[in-house]
Amino acid sequence: MILVTGAAGFIGYHVARALATRGDAVLGIDSLNDYYDPALKRARLAQLGGGNFVFERCDLVDRAAVQTLFARHAIDAVVHLAAQAGVRYSLSHPHAYVDANVAGFLNLLEALRAHPVRHCVYASTSSVYGANVKQPFAVGDRVDHPVSLYAATKRANELMAYVYARQFGLVLTGLRFFTVYGPWGRPDMAAFKFTRAILAGEPIEVYNFGDMRRDFTYIDDVVDAVVRVLDRAPASEDGVPHRLLNVGNSRPEPLLRFIEVLADAIGKKPQMRLLPLQPGDVKETSADIEPMRREYGWEPRTTIEAGLPEFVRWYRGYYGID
């Protein structure tokens, strides 16, 4: 059985569906918190129900509940995607990040220590690169200048995972995701926010006056990367079974181009409210994905010209908009 944490979340839903579809027994857990509309999370779970997927509501912050979960189920592997996400939210709700991302991850690592599995793949983020100006970001680059608490907690996860791999032999791989988008996406992310505003005839907020570039990565490519990595545990580096890898499109796009393609898919011209760079944001992200290409044969295939119309199609269908 494969445990997927955050199974009601955006990436968690897609990963759980892919694993269940190929025949794996999947146990999904989620706290179903209200960071964004829980109805969207429940709708994702409704798509997953039955077959090889089962769901249990569980908050990783609850130490006893996590230990009980592992004691009751024969878990063979873990995809850990549960987290308090979002950069801007961390400015106003810092404790949510320490609770979910640090304490929750510690509880998971302790459960894995007591109930070892063949491999745990966990989500990190491109945000750990922080104020780095060298492009593209490579895993070997320095990551000691975070610009948000969210980034700091995810870097803490990477260090915690390394310690547990070194001291206790846990087999762990961290994936640094770069700006994931696609159907069933998060309402706090650009594609979703912009689509909602454009369809409503409201202005979209464009930070740094539009002078930004992002390595927008389509969800299907991300799922492909997660499954490939999960199926092959990392070779030990210096005797430590822990690895970090970038998962990005490797084609950074200007934000204004992203908006143009999205608006074309919607069929409506956007109104833009140009604003300065927000605290916690960075001007550009770009992923060095050569290790994923070389070692896993993984190649992102979806451009924004193909991916954004798919998102818009899903959005219109989900909300019943002609």
> pLDDT tier at 287 (50, 70, 90 boundaries)?
very high
Averaged over 17-40, what is the pLDDT? 96
Strand-pairing partners, residue 177, are: 125, 247
> For the chain, what are the domain ranges?
2-180+217-247
Phi/psi at 230 (nearest 5 deg)? Answer: -55, -40
As given in the structure block, the two tokens for residue 156 are 């803490």
Would strands 204-206 and 242-247 be described as parallel, antiparallel, or unpaired? unpaired
Arithmetic mean of pLDDT over the chain: 95
* pLDDT computed for residue 108 by the predictor: 98
Quick one: pLDDT at residue 86?
A: 83
Cβ-contact 320, 279 below 8 angstroms: no
Contact in structure between 240 and 166 (CB atoms under 8 Å): yes
CB 7 within 8 A of CB 55: yes
Contact by Cβ (8 Å): 53, 59: no
Is the pLDDT at 314 greater than 90, yes or no?
yes
Q: Per mean pLDDT, which range of 5-9, 86-90, 142-146 is the poorest?
A: 86-90
Rg (CA), the chain: 19
DSSP annotation of 243:
E
- Banded pLDDT at 65 (limits 50, 70, 90): very high
- pLDDT value of residue 50: 78
The CATH number of 2-180+217-247 is which of 3.40.50.2300, 3.40.50.720, 3.40.1130.10, 3.30.70.2200? 3.40.50.720
Amino acid at 143: V
Q: Could you read off the pLDDT of 234-284 as tens digits, one per residue?
A: 877 688 999 999 999 999 999 999 999 999 999 999 999 999 988 878 888
120 forms beta bridges with 78, 172
* pLDDT of 113 higher than 90: yes
Report residue 280 as tokens: 């916690």
Report residue 46's pLDDT band, with 50, 70 and 90 as the boundaries.
very high
Say which of 89, 150, 164, 207 is annotated catalytic: 150
- Portion of the chain with pLDDT greater than 90, in percent: 87
- Clarify whether 150 is annotated catalytic: yes
Tokens of 135: 């492009």
Q: Is the pLDDT of residue 47 over 90?
A: yes
Rounded-to-integer distance, Cα 113 and Cα 99, Å: 20
> Which one, of 38, 59, 71, lies nearest residue 105 by Cα?
59
